[in-house]
Structure 1
Amino acid sequence: MSSDVMDWDNAYRGAGAFEGPPPWNIGEPQPELAALHRDGRFRSDVLDAGCGHAELSLALAADGYTVVGLDLSPTAIAAANRAAQQRSLATASFAQADITSFTGYDGRFNTVVDSTLFHSLPVEGREGYLRSIHRASAPGASLFILVFAKGAFPDGLETKPNEVDEDELRQAVSQFWEVDDIRPAYIHANPMPMGELPDGAQAPGFDVEFDDKGRLKMPAFLLSAHRAG
């Protein structure tokens, strides 16, 4: 699912194919990343790459972290800035940017977190993205990527995320970062329309788990890496 086929701003306006809030907008940080927060794995300053409505950034700022969120969608950025103002979170800031080529933050961030962005990029945009966040990170910085695993969506869908297998993810990230760990994980999502499925395909929701809030738990990977110091 690339920016060539998905109008991200339209999705955040609730006017896209999802006919309401996008499925990844669950109103709180993804649980896999919230667990990293509880475990003290993040260090300021934090870059929230492809922040969307930025629930992770807002949660981190509420605990005193300095966070910058970047996203392509002006609607998402406006919503994130409003939320930060309403919650009086002065250490969270948000800006519209192309995450595959942004500049202006060289060497700033000690943590980069990617909450379901990687699979939304065009495959050909991955190198520019990883180079850009590497440039923005400080020596020794940590990187966390939560991304859909291959098989999370049925084959044959006209539009779906660019899911990865473990080797593909490791190979892409290791061009710029030292990969420490890749483990199976879940992305939690609200029910979503799958559109017309190919014969024999099964939509997520029939063969995946649900969390205690009735949301889908879809197969994913959580990658941990660091920038060589």
Structure 2
Amino acid sequence: MAQSPKAEFEAIYQGAHIPWDIGEPQPALAELVNAGWCVGVVLDAGCGTGELGLAVARRGHTVTGLDVSPRAIELARRKAAERDLEARFEATDITELTGYDDAFDTVVDSGLLHVLDPTAQERYLGVLRRVCRPGGRVAVLCFADVPGARTPGGRGLTEARLRELFTDGWEIEAFERAGVLGIIPEGLGEQSEWPKDDRGRTPMTGWRLRARRRKTD
């Protein structure tokens, strides 16, 4: 029997190798954070071990990080304590999230959307629409499905699919190609042979989308 998504990710976070945990926020989203793009109360959706959410908290924002993996949340809380940063981290399935209505001015998503199946993607967008205040903003970094893309597991999204997801209740403000860094172990065939940067991280093919929640539907 195949593992549930929760069990799959919990097993990865319990292990020694977390391919997407590069020890810092993904540069494509760190750029936005450092430029002051985040405003108000912030949700880090699919926060993992908390690097992005903690970078936002360091700038003085109230931050909530949510992830399906209890182990990831444990690691994020540990990082927050070690860095003396205030952030709330909770284990939950964000596609089934209740509460938090109109709670957030900004949502950042570093690699969550592309791991969800199509039905879960639609549930997730429904949650974002509910928890993001009218006029609030969302930034998503995900793998891209484009010719010649370098992405693991065929998890990339097409431009058409992303635009479809962010139609009802959203205004897309920016849509652009962006790199996604990961640490790919040896023994994965072609993926292990992909180029690496000077820190052993593999640049992969992604999208960075920024959208704003419409004030009226």
TM-score, normalized by length of structure 2?
Answer: 0.89
Whether the 8 Å contact between 1:70 and 1:99 is mirrored in structure 2 is yes
Matched, 1:153 2:148: no
- How big is the shift at 1:203? 2.6
Q: Deviations over 1:67-105 (max 9, x none)?
A: 100000000011111211222212x10001111110221
Cross-structure match for 1:17: none
Question: Partners of 1:7 and 1:176 in 2: how far apart?
Answer: 32
Matched, 1:45 2:46: no
Cross-structure match for 1:138: 133
Question: Partners of 1:211 and 1:124 in 2: how far apart?
Answer: 35
Matched, 1:97 2:77: no
Cross-structure match for 2:202: 216
| Structure 2 alignment gaps of length 5 or more | none
47, 62, 65: which is aligned to 2:61? Answer: 65
Distance 1:152 1:174, change over 3 A: farther
- How big is the shift at 1:175? 2.9
Question: Partners of 2:186 and 2:130 in 1: how far apart?
Answer: 37
Cross-structure match for 2:168: 175
Q: When you count helix as a share of all residues, which structure comes out higher? A: 2
Distance 1:193 1:40, change over 3 A: same
Q: How many residues align?
A: 210
User: Which amino acid is 2:205 matched to?
Assistant: P
User: Which amino acid is 2:210 matched to?
Assistant: S
- How big is the shift at 1:185? 0.4
Secondary structure, aligned partner of 2:38 = coil
| Structure 1 alignment gaps of length 5 or more | 15-19, 155-159
Deviates more, 1:55-64 or 1:167-176: 167-176
Secondary structure, aligned partner of 2:156 = coil
Cross-structure match for 1:26: 22
Whether the 8 Å contact between 1:3 and 1:122 is mirrored in structure 2 is no
- How big is the shift at 1:4? 4.4
What is the identity percentage for the equivalent residue pairs of Structure 1 and Structure 2? 40
Cross-structure match for 1:9: 10
User: Which amino acid is 2:107 matched to?
Assistant: V
Q: Deviations over 1:189-228 (max 9, x none)?
A: 1123564x6xxxx43643xx53342311100000010101
Secondary structure, aligned partner of 1:27 = coil
- State the superposition RMSD in angstroms: 2.0
Secondary structure, aligned partner of 1:113 = strand
Secondary structure, aligned partner of 2:39 = coil
Matched, 1:228 2:214: yes
178, 184, 197: which is aligned to 2:177? Answer: 184
Question: Partners of 1:95 and 1:102 in 2: how far apart?
Answer: 11
Question: Partners of 2:85 and 2:6 in 1: how far apart?
Answer: 34
Question: Partners of 1:9 and 1:171 in 2: how far apart?
Answer: 30
User: Which amino acid is 1:134 matched to?
Assistant: R
